[in-house]
């Protein structure tokens, strides 16, 4: 039996010696690697947090103490050691374990996470509830250095002093978010990590406090140490200035060192931040060499994949990035911004070619959007490439700072639609309903690369607020054009792809191919040829084009890779009713519930985005 099997869960950690702990960590890494490469997952961060997790679970008891992982990229060892070892084989598969912490996944997941920078706020809530209820346990927030740079984290840090409660914050510093971290706070953390005064402080903490009994003079001892270190030119520390004690930096791969510090932290009576240094991707040569590549991998990834990458069909992200490179060559006013997603949005080549016109703001969506608004107000043409799920964090900035003053910012909404194994927190299904409610914005969805480039060029000419949504996965270069150049339909107009009668199938963006395939099935089944239309513009609707369709077809079927509530189908149905048309509108799309992790195809089937369901809606 392997050591990991014999340990079982966190309760089996307590009696292990140093050699056994090291062997256990190696086994944990092997299991994380094996399952992540097979099922897909966030590999590098979890590999880097193995010793940290083991040390946490040897000091804090999750049957009583609350441990909250920010985002969840680093939580795989925690999942395995909190009674989910066998279930870990089902990670990110339909019906299996979620890839992120989920309240409904396990009693040991104390908060549902997926988006960054929420752990300190959630931990503060848990801690204050503990105090108000007269309970006695520790609350620990584990947050990465990339997530710490976000404004939500700073709001929480700012509030802690006034809350008069205790939270233990573990800063897991691997010098990265998804990509290398950026900005002034990143530099501040780097200075703290190497400053000799803080190294001296770290040794003093261990030497003077490790023998103290619970609560005995720890705060007094630390105060004396820091006074002595004034002569060492102790640098400004933003955490200390906010009345949050700073301990560190410590070796995040040294279990014994972390255990000592964590035990001291239990006995400390105020909020504190413990700074630990880890290596993203630790444990394997390839993951250490390519931590960005292995940050998040798809199912069936080979460990040697970074060094034998073969040409792949163009992705929507790649087509967008290439189109922006071409646009930037035409117009020096074109600027591109992203929020810590340079790799995900395939903007590396743009950044290399245009270093003065590319901005990665880190995990700072709100700032990114207002910054883009400022660029636009000053006469430039900024494009913000951002995942749909993360765009939710900047809703107010889009309304107040971009659309209200009609500034020419283009939102490149990547991963718009169902995203597969990342699950509920990452689905890009809400941008259509809420952007439809925002005045002054034009919202369009290309079916292929031809329309995407057309929309970009027209936005540059018109200088308007615009959102362009495109899904995860491969991009058709030209749909319905076997050879030669396809000429896009005019701006603002839907496009008739096949003329028929009786039933009109309306696709938009990623669902146009589905409607073409469904039309073939309908014709095979009934001998009748349905009309197929690419809506193209979600807002404003092409009223003239819709009038022609609604007056000539008694049944309209729409399909959208977004929420049905407030979506395209509702918009067309409301328009038909308001104009007095007798046509009935039936819609396929994402129902009013969170869609859990599964493959993207399984999620499409769950939402009725299949030829079988379109056939049913068309003929029932």
Per the CB < 8 A criterion, the answer to whether 366 and 115 are in contact is: no
| Common-topology check for domains 3-285 and 316-469 | yes
* Helix (H), strand (E) at residue 173: strand 168-173
Q: Regarding beta strands 245-251 and 584-590, do their DSSP bridges make them parallel or antiparallel, or are they unpaired?
A: unpaired
Q: Please, which residues have CB within 8 angstroms of residue 617's CB and are 6 or more apart in sequence?
A: 557, 586, 587, 588
d(CA 473, CA 87): 28
The answer to the question of whether 72 is labelled as a binding residue is: no
Q: What angle do CA 275, 276, 282 make, to 5 degrees?
A: 155
Q: Please, which residues have CB within 8 angstroms of residue 370's CB and are 6 or more apart in sequence?
A: 397, 401
Coil/strand/helix, residue 367:
helix
d(CA 164, CA 156): 13
Q: 599 has which bridge partners?
A: none
Coil/strand/helix, residue 328:
helix
Candidates 29, 280, 447, 453; catalytic one: 280
Q: Please, which residues have CB within 8 angstroms of residue 96's CB and are 6 or more apart in sequence?
A: 87, 89, 90, 597
Candidates 51, 365, 495, 570; catalytic one: 365
Per the CB < 8 A criterion, the answer to whether 431 and 440 are in contact is: no
Coil/strand/helix, residue 74:
coil
The answer to the question of whether 502 is labelled as a binding residue is: no
d(CA 136, CA 286): 44
Give the chain's residues under pLDDT 50: 215-216, 225-233, 482
d(CA 164, CA 271): 9
Q: Which among 495, 472, 395 has a CA at the least distance from the CA of 441?
A: 395
Question: Token digits for 208?
Answer: 């003077």
Q: Identify each DSSP E strand in 227-366 by its residue range.
A: 245-251, 272-277, 334-338, 358-360
Per the CB < 8 A criterion, the answer to whether 360 and 335 are in contact is: no
- Read off the DSSP letter of residue 282: T
Per the CB < 8 A criterion, the answer to whether 205 and 264 are in contact is: yes
The answer to the question of whether 570 is labelled as a binding residue is: no
d(CA 303, CA 305): 6
The answer to the question of whether 253 is labelled as a binding residue is: no
Question: Token digits for 381?
Answer: 């043409």
Name the burial class of residue 274, with classes exposed (0-12), middle (13-18) and buried (19+) by CB atoms within 10 angstroms of its CB.
buried
CATH number for 3-285 (one of 3.50.30.50, 3.40.50.970, 3.40.47.10, 1.10.8.60): it is: 3.40.50.970
Q: For residue 524, indicate whether it is catalytic.
A: no
Question: Token digits for 136?
Answer: 């006695």
Q: For residue 365, indicate whether it is catalytic.
A: yes
The CATH class, in words, for 495-619 is alpha beta
Per the CB < 8 A criterion, the answer to whether 469 and 539 are in contact is: no
* Helix (H), strand (E) at residue 259: helix 255-267
Model pLDDT, residue 192: 60
d(CA 503, CA 520): 13
Candidates 393, 415, 436, 453; catalytic one: 393
- Read off the DSSP letter of residue 403: I
Name the burial class of residue 512, with classes exposed (0-12), middle (13-18) and buried (19+) by CB atoms within 10 angstroms of its CB.
buried
What's the full length of the chain, in residues?
620
Per the CB < 8 A criterion, the answer to whether 559 and 505 are in contact is: yes
The answer to the question of whether 365 is labelled as a binding residue is: yes
Per-domain boundaries in the chain? 3-285, 316-469, 495-619
The answer to the question of whether 114 is labelled as a binding residue is: yes
- Read off the DSSP letter of residue 462: H
Question: Token digits for 42?
Answer: 């966030």
The answer to the question of whether 424 is labelled as a binding residue is: no
Model pLDDT, residue 215: 44
Model pLDDT, residue 459: 98
Please give the C-alpha separations between residue 465 and each of 36, 73, 101, 382, 468, in angstroms, as whole numbers.
40, 34, 36, 10, 10
Phi-psi region for residue 480, left (φ > 0), alpha (ψ -120 to 50) or beta?
Answer: left
Per the CB < 8 A criterion, the answer to whether 455 and 493 are in contact is: no
The answer to the question of whether 146 is labelled as a binding residue is: yes
Please give the C-alpha separations between residue 237 and each of 146, 188, 219, 221, 234, in angstroms, as whole numbers.
18, 8, 17, 19, 8
- Read off the DSSP letter of residue 242: T
Query: How many C-beta neighbours within 10 Å does residue 551 have?
Result: 12
- DSSP string covering 552-592, please? H-SEEEEEEEEESTTSHHHHHHHHHHHHT---EEEEEEE-S
Nearest 10 degrees: Cα torsion 489, 495, 499, 504:
180
d(CA 527, CA 477): 30
Q: 474 has which bridge partners?
A: 315
HEC readout, 492-559: CCCEEEECCCCEEEEECHHHHHHHHHHHHHHHHHHCCCCEEEECCEEECCCHHHHHHHHHHCCEEEEE
d(CA 613, CA 608): 6
Model pLDDT, residue 231: 39
Q: Regarding beta strands 531-534 and 537-539, do their DSSP bridges make them parallel or antiparallel, or are they unpaired?
A: unpaired
- DSSP string covering 78-141, please? HHHHTT-TTGGGGTTSTTS--SS--TTT-TT--S---SSS-HHHHHHHHHHHHHHHT----EEE
Q: For residue 529, indicate whether it is catalytic.
A: no
d(CA 243, CA 234): 16
Q: Classify domain 316-469 by CATH number.
A: 3.40.50.970
């Amino acid at each position: 039996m392997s050591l990991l099997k014999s340990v079982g869960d966190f309760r089996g950690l307590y009696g292990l010696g140093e050699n056994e702990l090291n062997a256990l960590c190696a086994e944990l890494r092997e299991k994380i690697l094996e399952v992540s490469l097979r099922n897909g997952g966030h590999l590098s961060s979890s590999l880097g947090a193995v010793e940290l997790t083991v040390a946490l679970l040897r000091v804090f008891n999750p049957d009583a103490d609350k441990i909250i992982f920010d985002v969840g990229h680093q939580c795989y060892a925690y999942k395995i050691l909190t009674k989910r070892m066998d279930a870990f084989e089902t990670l990110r598969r339909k019906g299996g374990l979620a890839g992120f912490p989920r309240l409904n996944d396990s009693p040991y997941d104390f908060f549902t996470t997926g988006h960054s920078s929420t752990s300190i706020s959630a931990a503060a809530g848990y801690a204050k509830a503990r105090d108000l209820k007269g309970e006695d346990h520790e609350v620990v927030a584990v947050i990465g250095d990339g997530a710490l740079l976000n404004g939500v984290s700073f709001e929480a840090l700012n509030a802690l002093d006034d809350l008069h409660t205790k939270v233990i914050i573990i800063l897991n510093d691997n010098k990265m978010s998804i990509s290398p971290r950026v900005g002034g706070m990143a530099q501040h953390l780097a200075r703290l990590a190497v400053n000799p005064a803080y190294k001296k402080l770290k040794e003093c903490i261990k030497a003077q406090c490790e023998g103290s009994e619970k609560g005995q003079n720890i705060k007094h001892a630390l105060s004396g140490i820091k006074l002595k270190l004034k002569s060492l030119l102790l640098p400004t520390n933003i955490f200390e200035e906010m009345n949050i004690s700073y301990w560190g930096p410590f070796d995040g791969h040294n279990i014994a060192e972390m255990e000592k510090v964590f035990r001291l932290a239990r006995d400390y009576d105020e909020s504190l931040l413990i700074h630990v240094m880890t290596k993203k991707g630790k444990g394997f040569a390839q993951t250490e060499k390519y931590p960005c590549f292995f940050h998040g991998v798809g199912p069936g990834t080979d460990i040697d994949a970074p060094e034998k990458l073969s040409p792949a069909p163009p992705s929507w992200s790649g087509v967008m990035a290439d189109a922006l490179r071409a646009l930037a060559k035409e117009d020096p006013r074109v600027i591109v911004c992203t929020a810590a997603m340079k790799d995900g949005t395939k903007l590396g080549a743009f950044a290399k070619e245009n270093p003065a016109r590319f901005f990665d703001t880190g995990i700072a969506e709100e700032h990114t959007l207002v910054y883009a608004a400022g660029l636009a107000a000053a006469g430039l043409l900024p494009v913000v490439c951002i995942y749909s799920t993360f765009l939710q964090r900047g809703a107010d900035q889009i309304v107040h700072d971009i659309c209200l003053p009609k500034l020419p910012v283009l939102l490149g909404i990547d991963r718009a639609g169902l995203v597969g194994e990342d699950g509920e927190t990452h689905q890009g299904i809400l941008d259509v309903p809420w952007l439809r409610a925002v005045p002054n914005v034009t919202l369009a969805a290309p079916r292929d690369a031809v329309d995407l480039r057309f929309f970009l060029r027209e936005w540059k000419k018109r200088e308007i607020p615009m959102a362009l949504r495109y899904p995860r996965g491969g991009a058709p270069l030209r749909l319905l054009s076997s050879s030669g150049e396809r000429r896009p339909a005019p701006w603002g107009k839907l496009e008739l792809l096949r003329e028929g009668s009786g039933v009109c199938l309306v696709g938009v963006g990623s669902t146009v191919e589905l409607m073409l395939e469904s039309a073939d099935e309908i014709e095979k089944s009934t001998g009748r040829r349905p009309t197929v239309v690419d809506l193209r513009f979600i807002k404003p609707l092409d009223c003239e084009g819709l009038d022609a369709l609604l007056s000539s077809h008694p049944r309209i079927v729409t399909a959208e890779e977004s929420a049905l509530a407030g979506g395209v189908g509702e918009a067309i149905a409301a328009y038909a009713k308001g104009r007095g048309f007798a046509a009935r509108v039936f819609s396929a799309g994402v129902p009013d519930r969170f869609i859990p992790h599964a493959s993207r195809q399984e999620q499409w089937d769950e939402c009725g985005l299949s030829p079988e369901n379109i056939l049913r809606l068309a003929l029932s």
